[in-house]
Amino acid sequence: MSLAASKGGIYAQSSDPLGDDISIVRQWLALGDKKITGIQLYQDLVLKSHPMQLELGIGNVCGLKCQHCFLGYESGATISPLIPMSTLLDTVTCMVEKLGTRMIAVVDRDALTPNRSIPFFEHIAKLRKTYPEIKFGGVTNGLLIDRYADDLERIKLDYLDISMEGVCDENDKIRGKGTFDLALKNLRIALARQLAERVIVATTLHRFNDDSIIRMIHQLIFEDGVQWFDIGILMAVKMQQYQLQQRDIVEFLNSLSQSLVPVKVSQPITILVEICAYCAAFIPALIDSGWLIPEQIRQDKYGHLYQNIHVNESVTITLRPELIPEYWRHTLRISSDGYVIGGCEPLTQKDYAQLAVGNIQIEPIQEIYRRVLSLESPFYHSMLAYNHSECREKACFAYCLGGDSLLAKSVYGNYHVKDPNCVWNEYKFQNLSMYANNFRLRRS
């Protein structure tokens, strides 16, 4: 499983705001220019925050032991018992009806968990009749799709992410022998029976599988007609020897796009590239290379930032930069045993409850969400970290803002040090792109 995988991708409209018209883009640039403080940002975001998105753990067993699995606890070894189904259903109903949640993504460990996933999906499908803008789905390792196909066909998820780690050799080295063939067989069932509006192949990029992912994308487009891919980046709390270096994501995007130029197919292909909170350290290189262009970033109605790059008439690469982490202000993550923890960063630790703001098995979610935004909450501290980051005087702070402070806190116990995904001292700009320079000049 990727961390949250695609969450269904982007729901774009031609009226989506662009560049400087998006408040998060303006705030990100202003923080980088040191024109606002983290406290000012906190005060502004508190007024606008609501959990538009929910990332929810539903089970604690997945059947695999992937080398890159970011979860800090063993399969089955959660701190508390699983959330009772009645609490799960009441919580999601309350979030939809009272807190305005409209995107529900089932994540750790596997979206297809016996006796839990189908009743949960059925419940959301009912809510979707009243609130048609709800989007929901989940990420699975693909091993059990055939067992759930009848139910999924009836429910019709908005999306289903199926995780694969490259072509057979690389996938099986990471996930275990035989897992590629099994996932492929089930991917074909999902496509043939249209088990979700969007059937998406989700993958985690690192130095071991970068070439293999490109080969896999070609294979699945031509042999199986896959139209959706989602590429997440390794969270380097495991497999550090394969951690991406500062310009690797740029090299990967260059290779991927060049390889796709000749691809002409009748159905559109979308490749989502997740630049989520813990990937902030890759943003300076993306800006420097001209891949990420602030004035071309848009925002969909679910709050996702995105930038489309059309490789040709058939293929679009969609970058999804968070710029400022979505957790707490926009997204809540709830572990399968009920801890409300914002993003997935705390889950990298055995003691993932350390940054929890409450547990839905003990308190209603509305009470917990009030505390989520309060002074001294992890949200407050992560905003404050922009003022105190050890990276504040580096040139790359302008776009990275010092990395993912919640991950730094989870791993090192300190919000102000740079996160483990930045394995360099400072990103040195090589040729800060013409677009990025022009954008800043026009704003100054």
**Where along the sequence are the contacts to ligand SF4 (CB under 6 A)?**
1, 62, 64-66, 69, 71, 109, 141, 281, 284, 391, 394, 396-397, 400, 402-403, 418, 422, 426-427
**Amino acid identity at 265:** V
> What's the closest the beta carbon of residue 428 comes to ligand SF4, in angstroms?
10
> What's the closest the beta carbon of residue 181 comes to ligand SF4, in angstroms?
16
Residue (203 or 318) nearer to ligand SF4, CB? 203
Residue (64 or 85) nearer to ligand SF4, CB? 64
> What's the closest the beta carbon of residue 367 comes to ligand SF4, in angstroms?
30
What are the helix (H) ranges across 50-135? Answer: 85-98, 117-130
β-bridge pairing 196-205 and 157-163: parallel
Residue (90 or 426) nearer to ligand SF4, CB? 426
Query: What CA–CA distance (Å, rounded) separates 117 from 101?
Result: 19
What are the helix (H) ranges across 3-84? Answer: 23-32, 38-48
Residue (222 or 424) nearer to ligand SF4, CB? 424
Residue (62 or 214) nearer to ligand SF4, CB? 62
Query: What CA–CA distance (Å, rounded) separates 239 from 295?
Result: 35
> What's the closest the beta carbon of residue 139 comes to ligand SF4, in angstroms?
8
> What's the closest the beta carbon of residue 391 comes to ligand SF4, in angstroms?
3
Phi-psi region of 308 (alpha: psi -120 to 50; beta: other; left: phi over 0): beta
21: number of Cβ within 10 Å: 13
User: Phi and psi for 126 in degrees, rounded to 5?
Assistant: -65, -45
Residue (71 or 256) nearer to ligand SF4, CB? 71
> What's the closest the beta carbon of residue 176 comes to ligand SF4, in angstroms?
9
Query: What CA–CA distance (Å, rounded) separates 3 from 230?
Result: 11
CA atoms within 13 A on the CB side of 401: 32
Q: Dihedral sign for Cα 3, 5, 11, 12, please.
A: positive
